[in-house]
Amino acid sequence: MSVRHISLRSDNMKPILEVKNMTMDFGGLRAIDSVDLSIEKGQIVALIGPNGAGKTTFFNCITGIYTPTSGDIYISPNGESDKQERINGLKPNIVTRKGLARTFQNIRLFTSMTVLENVMIGCHAVTKVGIMGAIFRGIKTKTEERFIVEKSYSILEKIGLAKYVDELAVNLPYGAQRRLEIARALATNPFLLLLDEPAAGMNPQETMELDELILRIRNTEGISILLIEHDMKLVMSLSEKIYVVDYGRKIAEGTPEEIRHNSVVIKAYLGEEIGEECDA
């Protein structure tokens, strides 16, 4: 366990993502009700809760797809306290450029593109050739193109998808598609990766590989991770901190050990299921 959980926290550092008192209303429906959350540099944090608890909405608020009704979202890419920045209401593409990358619960790959091209799109955020550059294709453009292709390929190698490079993304097996989403997100050079149910629909073998992959991303790239997941085994083994939401409210937060024995959480999940699964 101790190898898995490393804490890089020191006292004068700010969390890289700090959500304060965030609320999101849809008409009369309160999907998220004053939720706080913070992630330290290098942490793996999980956001769990029953279906419809507002987890994906939470992601959408952070990544700019929705603008929260109230509350604040701050980021601080290196955890330096003087460089905190509020990102509420920024457009999704700007949020991505600031270093928050995400995957989607219902896989959203670019279906007409190959695996490599999907990752190349991820590089869009970190490159900048425009119309004129594209038309004249000077040295700068050529270098950038080469950089994009090479970077994308090396990410695919790291994620273990190199053998599929020129396949159409839609022709990949399901588990590989989920990993491709992660690869694509990594190409944007994030400091925080938001994974929305990355293990959904995977078999135990694939889930195990995913567990290992997520750890590797954190350990070698130093990218922090926030994940939504229903697979409790994965959540418990990976995360250093767990937030539990239900009906849009945060009902608990703590280490996996604390969450495992939290009676409110167990109740929210309707009974003993969670306890059993974790003991197994």
Partner 1 sequence: MTAKHEIRKSIIASIWFMFLTFPIMVIKVNTVTNTIEWRWYNMALVGIGIFFLSMLWRYLLKKKEEGGKKEKKAGLSLIQRLLQEKQFALPGMVIIAVITIIFPHIFSMYQTNIMISALIFVMLGLGLNIVIGLAGLLVLGYAAFFAVGAYAYALLNLHYGVGFWIALPIGGILAALFGILLGYPVLRLRGDYLAIVTLGFGEIIRLVLENWNEFSFGPSGIKNIPKPGFFGIELSMQATTIYIFYIVVLLVVFTIFVINRLKNSRIGRAWTALKDDEIASQAMGIDKAKTKLRAFALGSTWAGMAGVVFAAKTTFINPASFTLWESVIILCTVVLGGMGSIAGVIAGALLLILLPEYMRDFGEFRMITFGAVLILMMIFRPGGMIEDVRKTYKFEK
Partner 2 sequence: MDFEYFTQLFFGGLTRGSIYALIALGYTMVYGIIELINFAHGEIYMIGAFTGLIISSVLTMMGMPTLAVIILAGMAAIIYSCAYGYTMEKIAYKPLRNAPRLSALISAIGMSLFLQNYVLLAQTSDFLPFPSLVPEFKFWEPYSHILTTPELMILSTTVFVMILLTFLIKFTKIGKAMRATSQDKIMASLLGINVDQVISATFVVGSATAAIGGILIASHIGQINFYMGFIAGIKAFVAAVLGGIGSIPGAVLGSFVLGWTESFFTGYISSDYEDVFAFIFLVVILIFRPSGILGRSQTQKV
- Angle between helix 115-122 and helix 174-186 axes, rounded to 10 deg: 30
56 is in the binding site of which of partner 1, partner 2, none (Cβ under 5 to 8 A by kind)?
Answer: partner 2
Using the minimum distance from each CB to partner 2, give the nearer residue, 74 or 104: 104
Using the minimum distance from each CB to partner 1, give the nearer residue, 99 or 175: 99
Q: How many chain residues bind partner 1 (CB under 8 A)?
A: 51
124 binds partner 1 (CB under 8 A): yes
102 binds partner 1 (CB under 8 A): yes
Among 71, 74, 97, 104, which residue interacts with partner 2 (rule: CB under 8 A)?
104
Stretch that binds partner 1, among 5-13, 72-80, 119-127, 265-273 (CB under 8 A): 119-127
| Residue 245 Cβ vs partner 2, minimum distance, rounded to whole Å | 17
d(C-alpha 106, C-alpha 103), whole Å: 9
96 binds partner 2 (CB under 8 A): no
| Residue 258 Cβ vs partner 1, minimum distance, rounded to whole Å | 32
Among 36, 38, 153, 160, which residue interacts with partner 1 (rule: CB under 8 A)?
153
Site for partner 1 in 24-63 (CB under 8 A): 63
- Angle between helix 174-186 and helix 139-159 axes, rounded to 10 deg: 140
End-to-end, the C-alpha distance of the chain in Å comes to: 16
208 binds partner 1 (CB under 8 A): no
Q: Specify whether the CB–CB gap between 224 and 16 falls below 8 A.
A: yes
The rounded Cα 184 to chain-centroid distance in angstroms is 12
Residue 2: both structure tokens together? 């101790």
State the sign of the Cα–Cα–Cα–Cα dihedral 250, 253, 259, 263.
negative
264 binds partner 1 (CB under 8 A): no
| Residue 263 Cβ vs partner 1, minimum distance, rounded to whole Å | 37
Chain residues in the site for partner 2 (CB under 8 A): 26, 56, 60, 65, 104
